[in-house]
Structure 1
Amino acid sequence: MTSELSADTQDVLEEIEEKNVDFLRLQFTDILGTIKNVSVPADQAEKAFTEGIYFDGSSINGFVRIQESDMRLDPDPETFSVLPWRNDGESAAARLICDVIDTSTGEPFAGDPRGVLKRAIQRAEEMGYTVNAAPEPEFFLFEEDEDGRATTDTNDAGGYFDLAPKDLAQDVRRDIIFGLEEMGFDIEASHHEVAQGQHEINFTYDDALSTADNVATFRAVVRAIAAEHDLHATFMPKPIPKINGSGMHTHMSLFTEDGENAFHDEDDEFDLSDTAKSYLAGILEHAPAIAAVSNPTVNSYKRLVPGYEAPVYVAWSDRNRSALIRKPAARVPAASRIEARFPDPSCNPYLAFAALIHAGLDGIENDLDCDDPVRENIYEFDEAKREEYGITTLPSNLGEAIDALEADEVIQDALGEHVYENFVEAKTQEYDEFRVDVSDWELDRYLEKF
């Protein structure tokens, strides 16, 4: 790869010099969503843009085999940002999010999660739409022990929207917000969530690719700044039993080429267009398979149980939060959207968004009908009433979700053959390891009883 420097690239090179950046972290994610990076001295920046940076892909989870290991990172100049916790005023480090290129073909690597999302976005564009998204990732802040290891002891006793003195993490959230803003985030709101030690910071609606980049960055920033306060931030969906877990409610909408919100119809009872309803129906249709991607850990299904405000019922509502998808109130037409409430923040955001987009577009292409919204509290339904309403449930564990994914060609196609096969292999291994393990709960309950 050799190319002329674009105006965006020139701007980045100037900013590197102006801000005394000495190291660049070239960032990408593996299939499971773990951030990886290759660090290079800042004087290699121009080379990174014109020639790319090569690395061994065989050492990355789910990427390639040893005999086909050479991969290349192509940095996206629009993702340049100085890391606030590595900026002392005299020197700084910055990150660039990269696309992964298969050096044997010169084409985007099929196993790059960012590339998977780009393919979903391209499909939407071919249908005349751009995709916007806004997630609400929740997280817990825990104390560290004397060795710096994470505990599950929360550092506050706050509840939903509480203030100090109960919400002792206000200063941490403030520093996180300042750090995110330094990296270019537009923060809408932050607050203490329902559970002790649980928090939420919301950033503004953006295109789906930028939003997925932001989720990956958000998790890294939260962890880094929490560590500066001697706290451990975790996006584990259910770190403490019998209280609310952490979700990542994801708002989505489509816009047409002329900038109109394709989800809005002022003549509809719910202000939703037929396009929006078909998109919504597509997500409901494929929700069990999407769950394997959007709720990808054994622990994810400890959150997805009735009674803790997590959605498990495959239905939608314009009023309450017991359904899988909610239609939030919108003050202006541009804000009409749907909210998928089942994803959690342990997911790979690139893959989760891709699965949601392909499912929704499949609903549009097949003109799927959307059932009426359920306005009652589904948590209070018994099994007979759920059957009466035709309401099914999400998979109850990761094994069932993998089975659903293996039966759903639409979500398989969303991931692509390479990612699908490696993802299922990794997640099947994870679930098998869980099944043969013996938990403390089992020992406490059965060891002396039998």
Structure 2
Amino acid sequence: MASEPYGVLYSAGPTQSPSAAKSLDELLTPEIKFVRVQWIDFINTPRVRVLPVAYFRKLYENPHTRVGVGLAKVALGIVGLSLAKGFGAVGEWLYVPDLSSWRVCTYAPGHAVVMGWFQEKKPAPETGFDMPLCPRTLLHRLVREARDKAGVSFLIGMEHEFMLLSQTSPEPVYVNDADWTCAAKIRTGSVETVVLEEIANCLLDAGIELQHYHAEAAPGQYEVVTGPLPPLEAADAIVFTRETIYNIANKHGLKATFSPRLHADSCGNGAHVHISVHGGKAKTRKEDENRAPRMSPTERSFLQGVLEHLPAVVAFTLPNAASYARMLDGIWSGGTTSCWGTDNKEAPVRVCGPAGHLHFELKSSDATATPHLAFAGIVAAGLRGILDGALLTTGDCHKPAHVMSEAERKAVGLEKPLKLPKTIAEARKALDSDAGVKGLLGAEFVESYINVNKLMESWMAGKDEEDAVRKLIKYF
């Protein structure tokens, strides 16, 4: 008997940012004194230029000039004070504000924030002003290709796990120590409760759907869950959400950290991606229907693409050496085998929701990832599967793969399971050798990303575990 639908059901349709239809005069209300022109780079660093409103308005005065601010061609390749291979001191990009991404900075009174597009100053014969390394342009292009080539669209939501610290040196001190979803972590009057409520109000006032927040299992750990949006809007909203959490914690004398895993004897912080697939041209397909009868053919092909290319995708979703402290079996972080399971928290892809309204939770993801690049990797892998009409080769794992018997693995097609990388170096190698994903993302982008990621790995290395933890807390 089919299960009844439950929960809030989302559908993909024509969407528009609340700011998309507004004029510049409507956006620049009297309360706004400064505009943060913001971008997010390959190492997940939010970077900003703060422009007074009067100067920002001047950018739009001359109808015969392109709007934008000049940024040195190091903007996506700088790590600390070092430059990755392929980036140098010569040349500038034009960073063009995307007014549809405009949000009032509810965490910083008097400020608004806008994302943008990295563009070339001079058009190229084939690509025009588009710049292939721009994270937002890359994601936007993949979403457009999915729509045009496969009739598919996506919605993405996010779980944001983080810890609140009252002290970071000489060692981290957490604001409390209680268990998962315990009311003891949200006592009235405590600074952490004040911080959480202010974060919630800031997100709601900014127009971001807050589904809930709650205490997580590690000391001082919490989770904020934001609702689904189309991929580009979702990635922008995630940057805003993280900035809200960082800023409100700082306002109250606390440090928020999204670090993947600070200690081996405690839970880490994930950034689980919830993605749903809508539309598609395939109507029926019997060959793999028995593997996942609740899924549409398009969903099965998407899932197969993600599973097949997951070793490459984690180079984006788990981009830090510290990320692989969560790449373990038995800690509810997705495990080490590329597989899927209905409501299985030990599978890297957990299938959630009722038939007809399914979505996929990718658990092999954390907040050291640049959201736009993480989503681009996931979309590229899934789209590869859809375009190839890939058949789903594995079935529903009703228990963790690492505790399955040989017979149980055989029953779900895991006789020769695909294992996930154990280090970021292995993930980079998988990405570089994955022609399917690389072809969709672009070879130039993949090469540049790998160069930056290598530099990031060496820059984040600590003298010992304590030094590595301090760096993680400082940076993430």
* Pair 1:225 & 2:248 matched: yes
- Tell me: CA distance 1:164–1:352, structure 2 relative to 1, closer, same or farther (3 Å): same
Provide the residue aligned with 1:3 in structure 2.
none
Deviation for aligned residue 1:379: 4.2
Which of 416, 428, 431 aligns to 1:402? It is 428
**Cα–Cα, structure 1 residues 439 and 101, in superposed 2: closer, same or farther, change >3 Å?**
same
Amino acid across the alignment from 1:23: F
Secondary structure at 1:342 match in 2: coil
Residue 426 (structure 1) aligned with residue 452 (structure 2): yes
Q: Which residue, 57, 70, 79 being the options, matches 2:92?
A: 70
Q: Is the 8 Å Cα contact of residues 160 and 192 (structure 1) preserved in structure 2?
A: yes
Residue pair 1:114, 1:350 contacting (<8 A) in 2 also: yes
Alpha-carbon offset, residue 67 of structure 1: 6.3
Distance 1:290 1:8, change over 3 A: closer
Alignment of 1:153-164 (within 5 A): 153-164=173-184
Q: 1:315 aligns with which of 327, 339, 350?
A: 339
In structure 2, distance between residues paired with 1:268 and 1:186: 34
The corresponding residue for 1:263 is none
Instruction: Give the alignment partner of residue 205 of structure 2, picking from 166, 182, 194.
Output: 182
| 2:265 aligned counterpart, secondary structure | coil
Q: What TM-score do the two structures reach when normalised by structure 2?
A: 0.81
Report whether the alignment pairs 1:36 with 2:36: no
Distance in 1 (CA, whole Å) between partners of 2:341 and 2:450 is 31
Q: CA deviation at 1:267?
A: 11
Distance 1:438 1:85 in 2: 35
Q: Judge conservation of contact 1:270–1:318 (CA < 8 Å) in 2.
A: no
Q: State whether residues 386 and 392 of structure 1, in contact with CA within 8 Å, keep that contact through their aligned partners in structure 2.
A: no
Deviation readout 1:263-297 (Å, 9 max, x if unpaired): xxx99965211110110010000000111111000
| 2:75 alignment partner in structure 1 | 60
Aligned residues: 420
Query: Is contact 1:48-1:74 (8 Å) kept?
Result: no
Higher RCO structure (Cα 8 Å, ≥6 apart):
2
SS in 2 for 1:323: coil
In the TM superposition, 1:9-158 aligns within 5 A as 11-18=23-30, 20-49=31-60, 51-62=66-77, 65-66=87-88, 68-87=90-109, 92-105=110-123, 107-126=129-148, 127-144=150-167, 151-158=171-178
User: Of the candidates 391, 401, 418, which is equivalent to residue 369 of structure 1?
Assistant: 391
Secondary structure at the residue paired with 1:282?
A: helix
Q: Distance in 2 between matches of 1:102 and 1:161?
A: 48
Q: Structure 2 unaligned runs (5+)? A: 1-18, 79-85, 284-288, 468-476
What is the CA deviation profile of residues 26-59 of structure 1, one whole-angstrom value per residue up to 9, with x for unaligned ones?
1111122211112211023334346323223234
**By how many angstroms is 1:140 displaced?**
1.2
Matches within 5 A, 1:144-293: 144=167, 151-164=171-184, 169-256=192-279, 270-293=293-316
SS of the aligned residue for 2:73 comes to: helix
Q: Secondary structure at the match of 2:262?
A: coil
Question: How far off its partner does 1:61 sit?
Answer: 3.5
Q: Which is further off, 383-392 or 54-63? A: 383-392
Please say if residues 292 and 396 of structure 2, whose CA atoms lie closer than 8 Å, have aligned partners that are also in contact: no
Deviates more, 1:122-131 or 1:38-47: 38-47
Q: Relative to 1, partners in 2 of residues 1:72 and 1:268: Cα closer, same or farther, differing over 3 Å? A: same
Structure 1's 8 and 269: CA in aligned 2 closer, same or farther, altered over 3 A?
closer
State the distance in 2 between where 1:189 and 1:218 align. Answer: 13
Residues 344 and 351 in structure 2, CA contact (< 8 A), matched pair in contact too: no
Displaced runs of 4 or more, over 6 A: 266-269, 382-385
Deviation string 1:358-404 (CA, Å, 9 cap, x unpaired) is: 11111112222211111123343479976864333211111111111
1:283 to 1:114, Cα distance in 2 relative to 1, 3 A: same
State the secondary structure of the residue aligned to 1:289: helix
CA distance in 2, matches of 1:224, 1:340: 27
Contact 1:286 1:408 in 2 (8 A): yes
Q: Is 1:346 the equivalent of 2:368?
A: yes
Q: Are the aligned partners of 2:298 and 2:386 in contact in 1 as well (CA < 8 Å)?
A: yes
CA contact (8 A) 1:150 1:232 kept: no
TM-aligned CA deviation for residue 302 of structure 1? 0.7
The question of whether the paired residues in 1 share the 8 Å contact of 2:93 and 2:119 is answered with: yes
Aligned match of 2:10: none
Change (3 A) 1:383 1:240: farther
Q: Which amino acid aligns with 2:158?
A: P
Pair 365,432 (structure 1): closer, same or farther in 2 beyond 3 Å: same
What is the alpha-carbon distance in structure 2 between the residues aligned to residue 407 and residue 199 of structure 1?
A: 37
Residue pair 2:34, 2:111 contacting (<8 A) in 1 also: yes
**RMSD across aligned positions (CA):** 2.9
What is the aligned-residue identity percentage?
23
Verify the 8 A CA contact 1:195 1:244 in the aligned structure 2: yes
- Equivalent residue letter for 2:29: E
One-letter amino acid of the structure 2 residue matched with residue 152 of structure 1:
P
CA shift in 2, pair 1:322/1:303, >3 Å? same
| 3-state SS of paired residue (1:314) | coil
Partners of 2:328 and 2:466 in 1: how far apart? 18
Equivalent position to 1:337, from 356, 359, 372: 359
